[in-house]
Amino acid sequence: MILEAQHIDKYFFQPQKHQVLKDVSLIIEEGELVSIYGESGSGKSTLLYVLSTLDTNFEGDLKIKDKDITLITSPELSDFRNKHIGFVYQFHHLLPDFNVLQNVMLPAMKLSQISKEEIKEEALSLLNEVGMKAFATRSSYKLSGGQQQRVAIARALINNPSLIVADEPTGNLDQKNSEVIFELLKEITERRNKSVVIATHNSKIYQSSHRSIEMIDGVLRL
C-alpha cells in the first residue's frame, strides 16, 4: 500500500463556504494506475493536490508510504515531496530559464544523494526513454506541448518516487498526442512498478487505467 486517505473533508471559504471534498477515502496499492474522472468543479484536482501533499489544509487522515502526512512540518514536507512524489501537470510547467536536461535534473539536485555527474547520466537515460535525448540542451520553452510533457514525465521520475501524480496530463494536447503521452506514462510507470494517480476528463485514459473512479460533487463513487 502506497497511499491511504481516510475520511477527507475539505472546504473552500471563498467566495462562500463550500465543501469541496466530502468524506473521501481512497487506497492506492503499489504499481497501481488509478484515474479519477469527473466534471470540472467536481473536486478531482483538489483531491489530487491533497493526495500529493501540496494542499495541507484539510480534515482527515493521509498516509503515504506509511508516513502520516498531517504530522509533518513544512520544510520536511518539501523533502518528502521531493523524494516520494513526482508531478505531471496539464500545462507542462517546465522552467523556461533552464534547458531540457537541467529541468529534469532539478529535483535530483535538490535531493543530492548522488553526484551531479550521476544525476546527469540518469537524466539523459530518462530523456532517452521518453524519446527526448536529442533535445537535452534545448531551451525548454522552444518545445511543442507533447515534447514538453515527455520532459515533464522524465522529471517526475528522476528521484525514483513511490507515487506519480498527474493533473490532466493530456488536457492541453490533441487527441493523437494525448494517446501517445498517456501510453508513454503508463508504459514507463508499469515498467518501474510505480503507483500513479491521474485526474482526467479523457475517457480513453480512464478506460485504460487499472482502476477508475468517478467523482461527483466532492464524493468518490467507488
Partner 1 sequence: MSKQVFNKTNIFIAFQYLSARMKQSFLAMIGVMLGVTTFIVMINFMTGVNDFLDDAVFNGSPDIIINASAKKELENISRRTTNLLLDVTKIDNILKGDKNVQSYAHQIISPAILISDAKQFPGSINGVFPAQERNMVDLERRLIKGEGFKSLLEENSILLGVSLAKRLQVEVGDQIEMILPNGKNAALRVAGIFSFGITTIDNVRTYVSAAKLQNLLDQKNGITNVHIKLKDRDDVSLKSYLTENIDGIETEDWKDSNKTIVIGNKVRDILTWSVSLALLLVAGFGIYNILNSTVIQKRKDIAVLKTIGYSSNDVVFIFLVQSIIIGVLGAVFGGLFGYIISYLISTTPLDTSDFIIVDTYPINFKMSYYFLGLSFGILTTVFAGYFPSKKASQVDPVTIIRGI
Binding residues for partner 1, per CB under 8 A?
45, 49, 52, 54-55, 74-76, 78-79, 81-83, 87, 89-91, 93-98, 102, 106-107, 109-112, 116, 155, 159, 167
Q: Which three cell numbers stand for residue 19?
A: 465543501
Residue among 80 and 212 whose Cβ is closer to partner 1: 80
- Where do the DSSP E strands lie in the chain? 3-12, 18-28, 33-37, 59-64, 67-68, 85-88, 163-167, 195-200, 211-216, 219-221
Omega cis (within 30) before 75 = no
Min CB(99)–partner 1 separation in Å: 10
| Closest distance to partner 1 from the beta carbon of 63 (Å) | 18
Please identify, using beta-carbon distances, which residue of 29 and 59 lies nearer to partner 1.
59
* Shortest Å, Cβ 222 to partner 1: 25
Report how far residue 154's alpha carbon sits from residue 151's, in angstroms, rounded to the nearest whole number.
5
- Residue 46 or 202: the one with the smaller Cβ distance to partner 1 is 46
User: Please, which residue, 80 or 204, has the CB nearer to partner 1?
Assistant: 80
Give the span between the Cα atoms of 38 and 213, in whole angstroms. Answer: 9
Q: Check if the beta carbon of residue 142 is closer than 8 Å to that of residue 65.
A: no
CB of 128 to partner 1, least distance (A): 21
